[in-house]
Structure 1
Amino acid sequence: MTDDLGAALRERVVVLDGGLGTHLEARGADVSGELWSARVLRDDPELVRAAHADFVAAGAEVVISASYQLGYGAALPDGEVDRLIRLSVAVARDSGARWVAASVGPYGAVRADGSEYTGDYGRDAAELRAWHRRRLAALADAGADVLAVETVASPLEAEVLAAELDALGVPSFVSMSGDSTALDARGLRAALRTAAGARGVLAVGVNCCRPARTAALLAAAPAGAALVAYPNAGRTWDASTRTWRGEASGVADLAPGWAAAGARLIGGCCGTTPADVAAIAARVSATTRT
């Protein structure tokens, strides 16, 4: 890992990619199962590489690996998880991105039951910390430039992850689930403050929330912290049917406001397309120049 991304964030806004899983689906992949984009990684890694490359061509400088729903003791044997973690980073690297972020999804993502939006895991801090520790170490060793600790659902999980990141000391950013029902304003503020204090954390913020809510959520971050913002396309996830509902809304027009609020990593989450990323890159570039 390198911390070159940290130097860039001190100087300017860096553009993240968009919704990998939904873009894979648009390219014809089946992401309906519990492995989501990791299933495509296993069965057709070239398609994952091509999807990453679409975002790079659109202006993304950072691509986030297809490791969000990979975890030990879940749907796959541990040896296969090890292999796919390494493959996820290698495939992302082959896309031509300037930086590769290894996705670290929450405990709820591996459960594949929508609990990353509730934080209702039925696990205490010791259990969560032990579960996250092995995967964080494997992802840190896989050759990415930064860990993307994303869609964190609760203050407890944020505390657990911050402690493990502090012990690892590798470059990372931490993004809370902006639509989590376990995070009220006070909880979000505490979680972001805790995450920002961990060694190696370059930025904190929110993802997979409605674009219109993003600015208000970022306001909960500690003063002076570099921020990360990558909302979804404005639709609502139905965990029972594993589908998105509602109409998408544009994110690019709001991106300059997030930059003005201190966001230094800006992109999109579920439902956001390469076209959205291209529009974000254009708007953020114009803002940075002015």
Structure 2
Amino acid sequence: MKPDLRQAWDQQVLIGDGAMGTFLYQMGFPVGISYEELNLTSPEVIKDVHRRYVEAGAQIIETNTFSANFDKLSKYGLESKVEDINRAGVRIAREVAGSAGYVVGAIGSIRGGKRTNVSTAELKKYFEQQIQALLQEGVDGILLETFYDVEELYLALSIVRKLSPLPVICQFAVEDVARTLDGYTMPEAFRMMQQQGADVIGFNCRTGPNGIMSAMKTLGGHLSVPMSVYPNAGVADYVDGEYQYGAKPDYFGQMAVKFADLGARIIGGCCGTTPAHIAAISSALQGYEPQPITYGPIDIVPAPIEIHEHLAPDGDGEGKGGSPNLVDLVKERHTVIVELDPPRDLDIAKFMKGAQVLKDAGADALTLADNSLAVTRMSNMALGHLVQAETGLRPLVHIACRDRNLIGTQSHLMGFDALGIDHVLAVTGDPARFGDLPGSSSVYDLTSFEIIRMIKQLNEGIAFSGKPLKQKANFVVGAAFNPHGKHLDKAVLRLERKIAAGADYIMTQPVYDPELIRALKEATSHLDIPIFLGIMPLASGRNAEYLHNEVPGIQLSDDVRRRMSGLEGEEGRAMGVAIAKELLDVAMEHFNGIYLMTPFMLYDMSAQLISHVWEKSGRRQPPLFHR
């Protein structure tokens, strides 16, 4: 009779199996199908893969259920098959493992490093459904693998522990710096998993043997539980239309001994590994006698990270050139941000002239949208840098979640930091299908809440991946607010969530109703961050109707539409400025922050409104600027 799984890894180093998904891909099964569905449609294929790993020396077989949860299966219309697919996966693995092998139910991360793309309530529901199906079919243990953050893994582990006393293996997907996406060091993460009842804690995926070795070493040899390691076969390369992995089986054999010396008691493979890799591990560990490990409380003090603060040129810490940031400025006086749209062509002459006019009128910052309304425009990074260098006016750039994945978003922000552009506005971004390139993809790796949190993480000197960045960024992060919904109180609750995520200031959609300005002040009076109230002068009657009827987030009052009706050209612009001045008079009574939006590059209209703000506030001369 085989020993209990816990006894087995205390006595020896157990050999795990290798990849399922990438191995099926190498066998000719295309990306874009549910590999877990093969448990029902092609069980002989899954059985054959398991058999090859057992013949290679694997003692622990993972069920083919990594993504067999409601959320992942629903993408293939298989959400009603969760129980069937999981139970079939256990039966297939059990048949191949036989009486000598161990079967662990494989459960992967649902969020996949995207933080809150699935709510906590949904996570609980989906994990519990899958875990119960695996337990009912009789696994020897549960393997929670490829988790990027502590929160989700902790939740999944707590559900297993509520349902079963079976052994549980928990594996993080980290890079060589060994920090989770939510910022925990591995000693901290290990301690939390141990306290929640994990039997084995380790690493898999995301990196090859060398990266996992580096992650193991960050623990400093102080282990609280046995460890498991399932590295990728190096970094994937895309060659001639196929994914290929470079790490060879003999290299895996050499690294297996080093893993065992560091305390690993389960060693297998993840993406790109094959039965040949597992055979090399099994051969290298043949006759290996592990040294007894004395488990004690793990050192939970995070490894020191060398952080260097940005210093202003004059050393005052206020920002480039010594000027206070907008959040500090708006606490002292009325402060004006003006939006000027980047051009849709390659001619920047008019844009740069407009920026200079707005600077001369006394704008405190020029804000540049990020392909607003999903219409392709020139990079706001390039224009922001030019504005800053040539006019001295502070750029405030929008960052949309629509256009860039996590890699591109962090890279983009790092570029802003290098250029000294430190004021940003996080926005979701209008869907690409409604813009000028409807065939383009909308990425949305992050929500507006998540991007705010991630930007503030850069301010701590920590990359999205958890890596240290050697110095801290210094971003002042804004959030957008639409006050035009039917229920202002609910909109404010959403706004409070953005503030909780780390927003430093708020910029609203344009408001055309004095009563709404007053209501907005009352509804937000409890908030402790500044609000820049949006005002956009109307250029014509047609412009007014278009904004009211076709542009999301903008509503005009009946009075404004009546006054603009039928007006065009200079007459329309004059009325638009007059209405905007009336709105500014009300806004300035309640808000120090003013956000002017320039229509159709008619920057002279915005310049008139800037002058009105300074006259109204008693500052008839434009303020002096350092930027």
TM range (shorter): 0.7 to 0.9
Name the residue aligned to 2:282.
Answer: 281
Distance 1:186 1:280, change over 3 A: same
Post-superposition CA distance 1:217-240 (Å, at most 9, x none): 1245562310000101012488xx
The alpha-carbon deviation at position 81 of structure 1 amounts to: 1.6
Classify the secondary structure of the residue corresponding to 1:213.
Answer: helix
- Provide the rounded CA distance (Å) in 1 between the counterparts of 2:121 and 2:290: 47
- Provide the rounded CA distance (Å) in 2 between the counterparts of 1:84 and 1:21: 15
Post-superposition CA distance 1:52-108 (Å, at most 9, x none): 000000000011111011112523444422111110011111113501111101104
- Provide the rounded CA distance (Å) in 1 between the counterparts of 2:242 and 2:154: 30
- Provide the rounded CA distance (Å) in 2 between the counterparts of 1:254 and 1:130: 39
Distance 1:261 1:119, change over 3 A: farther
Name the residue aligned to 1:64.
Answer: 62
2:182 is aligned with 1:172: no
Classify the secondary structure of the residue corresponding to 2:166.
Answer: coil
Task: Report the TM-score when normalising by structure 2.
Answer: 0.41
Distance 1:220 1:147, change over 3 A: farther
Classify the secondary structure of the residue corresponding to 1:38.
Answer: coil
2:208 is aligned with 1:207: no
Q: 1:107 is aligned with what amino acid?
A: I
- The answer to whether the 8 A contact 2:144-2:153 is kept is no
Distance 1:279 1:177, change over 3 A: same
Name the residue aligned to 1:112.
Answer: none
Name the residue aligned to 1:136.
Answer: 131
Distance 1:190 1:96, change over 3 A: same
- The answer to whether the 8 A contact 2:52-2:275 is kept is yes
Alignment of 1:48-127 (within 5 A): 48-73=46-71, 74=74, 75-97=76-98, 98-108=101-111, 116=112, 118-127=113-122
The alpha-carbon deviation at position 177 of structure 1 amounts to: 1.1
Task: Report the TM-score when normalising by structure 1.
Answer: 0.85
Distance 1:130 1:82, change over 3 A: closer
Distance 1:22 1:123, change over 3 A: closer
The alpha-carbon deviation at position 25 of structure 1 amounts to: 2.6
- The answer to whether the 8 A contact 1:225-1:262 is kept is no
Distance 1:152 1:17, change over 3 A: same
Q: 1:33 is aligned with what amino acid?
A: G
- Provide the rounded CA distance (Å) in 1 between the counterparts of 2:55 and 2:19: 15
Classify the secondary structure of the residue corresponding to 1:103.
Answer: strand
- Provide the rounded CA distance (Å) in 1 between the counterparts of 2:117 and 2:179: 15
Deviates further, 156-165 or 227-236: 156-165
The alpha-carbon deviation at position 165 of structure 1 amounts to: 2.5
The alpha-carbon deviation at position 31 of structure 1 amounts to: 4.2
Distance 1:235 1:84, change over 3 A: same
- The answer to whether the 8 A contact 1:67-1:102 is kept is yes
Deviates further, 178-187 or 89-98: 178-187
The alpha-carbon deviation at position 280 of structure 1 amounts to: 0.2
Name the residue aligned to 1:162.
Answer: 157
- The answer to whether the 8 A contact 2:237-2:245 is kept is no
Post-superposition CA distance 1:119-149 (Å, at most 9, x none): 4343454442333222222222221111111
Distance 1:289 1:120, change over 3 A: closer
Distance 1:137 1:289, change over 3 A: closer
Tell me which of the two structures has the higher relative contact order, counting C-alpha pairs closer than 8 angstroms and 6 or more residues apart. Answer: 1
- The answer to whether the 8 A contact 1:158-1:194 is kept is no
Deviates further, 126-135 or 178-187: 178-187
Q: 2:38 is aligned with what amino acid?
A: V
The alpha-carbon deviation at position 189 of structure 1 amounts to: 3.0
Distance 1:39 1:33, change over 3 A: farther
- Provide the rounded CA distance (Å) in 2 between the counterparts of 1:54 and 1:128: 34
The alpha-carbon deviation at position 19 of structure 1 amounts to: 0.7
Deviates further, 10-19 or 208-217: 208-217
- Provide the rounded CA distance (Å) in 2 between the counterparts of 1:246 and 1:9: 29
Distance 1:39 1:135, change over 3 A: closer
Distance 1:227 1:31, change over 3 A: farther
The alpha-carbon deviation at position 252 of structure 1 amounts to: 1.8
User: How many aligned residue pairs are there?
Assistant: 275
The alpha-carbon deviation at position 204 of structure 1 amounts to: 0.6
Gaps of 5+ in 2: 292-627
Classify the secondary structure of the residue corresponding to 2:285.
Answer: helix
Classify the secondary structure of the residue corresponding to 1:285.
Answer: coil
Distance 1:225 1:84, change over 3 A: same
Instruction: Give me the CA root mean square deviation.
Output: 2.7
Larger Cα-atom Rg: 2
Classify the secondary structure of the residue corresponding to 2:139.
Answer: coil
- Provide the rounded CA distance (Å) in 1 between the counterparts of 2:284 and 2:114: 34
The alpha-carbon deviation at position 181 of structure 1 amounts to: 8.2
Q: Which of 37, 41, 44 lines up with 1:43 in the alignment?
A: 41
